[in-house]
Every structure is written in structure tokens, then in C-alpha cells.
Amino acid sequence: MTIAIESLDKLLAPMRGDCAAGSVSLVGAGPGDVELLTLKALRLLRSADVVVYDRLVSAEVMAEVPPQTLAIDVGKRPGCHGMKQAQINQLLVDLARSGRQVVRLKGGDPFIFGRGGEEMQWLQQAGIPCQVVPGITAAVGCAAATGIPLTHRDCAQSVRFITGHSKTGEPDLSDASLGATQQTLVFYMGLSGCVAIADQLRAHGRAGDTPVAIVENGTRVTQRVITTTLSELANTVAREQPQSPALLMVGEVVRLYRPESLSAAALASAG
Ligand code: SAH
């Protein structure tokens, strides 16, 4: 049962009497494919009193929430604001204080660019019992679903997960070591800043022909993969108009992409 944010007040009345202890589980929902949920996440989803979720959580994952369980959508969509982070933090505290077992369901992994760290700190300060359940982060899900390894002994000794959207809204790419070869860079929220990303990586010394994969809706039935190069990235994005959620994978590993050789099982699970 999905409820509107406006009718939350009614929910915050104590559920099991004043002394009942509520708690919050920060649970990773993975990148979309429901089979990538952990068993722990599934168990918590099925036993929660209320699930607080955001827009990255796929419909298939939400279908695992029992129909009688309250589900609160606090998601932000481009051009349409959901609840502000401070309101979400407070909602989690209020729901737990009302005695409920709360699942805070977040796309991917709660501790990778998901503001799960902030929510955990807030809960800790409020004295609310809190546990964290990891999820498969988008980079790992997309790597598996495309057959692009994140590391490879021949060409990538390390991988970095980078946000294209720092506190200022712009990517912070001042670190010159981003120009080093032999590493894979994965940009989350990188679509809108793709021009700056390509320019900065070139300025730090990455070659213009460094391959880039744009993975849209990774692991979902709607998955789309577009390959290009750093020097062509801006043109490709303008032409192909990839939509969020999408990742940019940058590095020699992208040359290993072989769409024709993805196994039937992988394609079936991607739909
Ligand atoms: N906590 C999440 C990331 C949240 S930031 C995680 O661990 O995956 C949101 C960004 O994640 C999106 O803008 C996009 O860059 C990326 N993302 C999330 N799900 C994705 C998916 N299924 N396919 C491609 N990118 C995805």
C-alpha cells in the first residue's frame, strides 16, 4: 500500500505502545534486477512495518514488499522534488519512535553515493537502533550485466567510483591521478556533467580514444549500452540522449565489451 507524503501524520502515532522499540534497517536494493537482492534484504522487506524508498528502487524490487505493508515514496525525480534529506532523516526517526520496524530501501548500496552515511549518523544521534544491509552497487551490477570487468590484470589494476555531482553540483575532478592509465573510472550521476568529465580527464592526460561505456538502466529489462570515446562523449550523449539512471565506465576494460557474447542467462535476467 503506497501512501502520500501528506498523510504521514496519521502514521506517526505510537504503533505498539510507548515502550515498544522501533528500529531502522538501511537496506541496499541493488541496481534493479530483483534477483540481485540479498536474502537478508528480502527477509527484512517481507517483515517490515513500513518501507521508505526512493526513485532508484525498481518496480520489481518493490513488488516484493507485501501489499499490506506501508510504502512511502520519498524519491526525488529530475525536475520534481521529493522530500528533502532533512525531512527524510526526521521521518525515519519519527517512524522508529512510533515503534515501527522501518526499512529504508535505497538503490544499489546504501553507503555508495546514497547518503546512507548521513541517515545512519542521524539515527545514531537520535539513539535509534540501526543496521545496514549492503546491496550490489550500480557499478558492480552494470559490469556483470554488460560483461565489462572493472579490473583486469592486463589493463586495469584499480577501479574508482566517482560522483559526477558533488555538493556544489559540479564534478570535482581536480585530482591529477585521474589521468593515470591502468585504472577504470566509473562515474555515478555523470550524465549532466559529461562535458566537464571528458575535458578534465583529457586535461589530466587520458587519451582522447580512451573507450567509454554509457550504461543506462543497468541490469533492468530496459538496459541500454552505448560505447564511445572520451573525445566523442559529449557528441554521443547529445545524439543518443541516455536517460538516468546511467553510469559512465571509462577505461581500457570497455574494449572487452562483446554484446553478442552475453549469455542467454544474463540476457534472460536482464529481460
Ligand atoms: N547507492 C547507489 C548509487 C546512488 S547515486 C548505488 O550504489 O548504486 C545514483 C546514481 O547511480 C545514478 O545517477 C546512476 O549514475 C547510478 N545508477 C543507479 N542505478 C543504476 C542502474 N540500474 N544503471 C545505471 N546506473 C545506475
Atom of ligand 1 nearest to the CA of 244: 13
Residues having CB closer than 6 A to ligand 1 are 31-32, 56, 106-109, 112-114, 137-138, 142, 188-189, 215, 217-220, 244-247
Q: Could you tell me the maximum CA-CA distance found in the chain, to the nearest angstrom?
A: 64
CA distance 108 to 112: 8
Which of 226, 230, 221 is closest to 269 using CA atoms?
Answer: 221
Residue-wise pLDDT for 182-218, tens only, equals 999 999 999 999 999 999 999 999 999 999 999 999 9
Provide the pLDDT confidence category of residue 169 given band limits of 50, 70 and 90: confident
How is the beta sheet containing 246-250 ordered, strand by strand?
Answer: 158-163, 183-188, 246-250, 211-216, 224-229
Evaluate if residue 131 carries a pLDDT over 90: yes
- Give me the count of residues in the chain: 271
Instruction: Kindly provide the b/e burial profile for residues 14-29, where b requires at least 16 CB atoms within 10 angstroms of the residue's own CB.
Output: ebeeeeeebbbbbbbb
- Calculate ∠ Cα 204-208-209, nearest 5°: 135
Q: Which of 80, 77, 125, 83 is nearest to 104 (CA)?
A: 83
Q: What is the mean pLDDT of residues 63-77?
A: 92
More confident: 255 or 12: 255
The beta strand positions in the chain, using DSSP E, are: 2-3, 23-28, 50-53, 70-73, 101-106, 130-133, 158-163, 183-188, 211-216, 224-229, 246-250
d(CA 32, CA 138): 9
Active-site residue, from 40, 76, 172, 199:
76
User: What is the β-pairing status of strands 224-229 and 211-216?
Assistant: antiparallel
Distances 175 to 10, 156, 202, 231, 238 between C-alpha atoms, Å: 49, 18, 13, 20, 27
**Mean of pLDDT over the chain:** 91
Residues 104, 119 contacting (CB under 8 angstroms)? yes
Pocket test for ligand 1, best of 76, 186, 188, 243 (most atoms within 8 A of CB): 188
pLDDT of 79 > 60? The answer is no
> Sheet of 130-133: strands edge to edge?
2-3, 70-73, 50-53, 101-106, 23-28, 130-133
Q: What is the DSSP letter of 193?
A: T
The answer to whether 54 is a known catalytic residue is yes
CA-to-CA distance for 138 and 220, rounded, in angstroms? 11
* Contact of 259 with 213, CB cutoff 8 Å: no
Q: Is the pLDDT of residue 52 over 80?
A: yes
CA distance linking residue 206 with residue 217, whole number of Å: 27
Confidence at residue 264, expressed as pLDDT on a 0 to 100 scale: 59
What's residue 271's pLDDT? 47
Q: How confident is the model at residue 164 (pLDDT cuts 50, 70, 90)?
A: very high
CA dist., res. 161 & res. 138, Å (int): 10
Pocket test for ligand 1, best of 36, 56, 187, 226 (most atoms within 8 A of CB): 56
As a whole number, mean pLDDT of residues 23-39 equals 98
